[in-house]
Amino acid sequence: MLELNIVTHKKYEGINITSEVVKFIAESNVKNGICYLLVPHTTAGITINEGADPKVLEDIVGAVDSIIPTRYEFKHWGGNSPSHLKSSLFGTTLTILVRDRKPVLGEWQAIIFLEFDGPRKRKAIIELLPVILKH
Amino acid sequence: MLELNIVTHKKYEGINITSEVVKFIAESNVKNGICYLLVPHTTAGITINEGADPKVLEDIVGAVDSIIPTRYEFKHWGGNSPSHLKSSLFGTTLTILVRDRKPVLGEWQAIIFLEFDGPRKRKAIIELLPVILKH
Amino acid sequence: MLELNIVTHKKYEGINITSEVVKFIAESNVKNGICYLLVPHTTAGITINEGADPKVLEDIVGAVDSIIPTRYEFKHWGGNSPSHLKSSLFGTTLTILVRDRKPVLGEWQAIIFLEFDGPRKRKAIIELLPVILKH
ipTM of the complex: 0.95
Evaluate whether B87 touches B122 at the Cβ level (below 8 Å).
Answer: no
Closest Cβ opposite residue C90 in set B30, B89, B93: B89
Average pLDDT of adjacent 10-residue blocks, chain C of 135 residues:
97 98 95 95 98 94 90 83 96 97 98 98 95 51
User: What pTM, to 2 d.p., does this model score?
Assistant: 0.96
Instruction: Please report all neighbours of A, defined by 3+ CB atom pairs within 8 A.
Output: B, C
**C105 vs B33, B93, B113, C98, CA distance in Å?**
21, 10, 17, 9
What does the pLDDT average to over A35-40?
98
- The pLDDT, as a whole number, for residue A135 is 37
Cβ contacts below 8 Å, chain A against chain C, sum to 103
**B-chain residue closest to A87, CA distance:** B49
Give the containing element (helix H, strand E) for C113: strand C109-115
pLDDT class of B134 with cuts at 50, 70, 90: very low
Closest Cβ opposite residue A48 in set C36, C81, C93: C93
Instruction: Please report all neighbours of C, defined by 3+ CB atom pairs within 8 A.
Output: A, B
Say how far apart CA B47 and CA C28 lie, in whole Å: 31
Tell me which CATH homologous superfamily contains domain C2-130: YjbQ-like (2.60.120.460)
Evaluate whether C36 touches A94 at the Cβ level (below 8 Å).
Answer: no
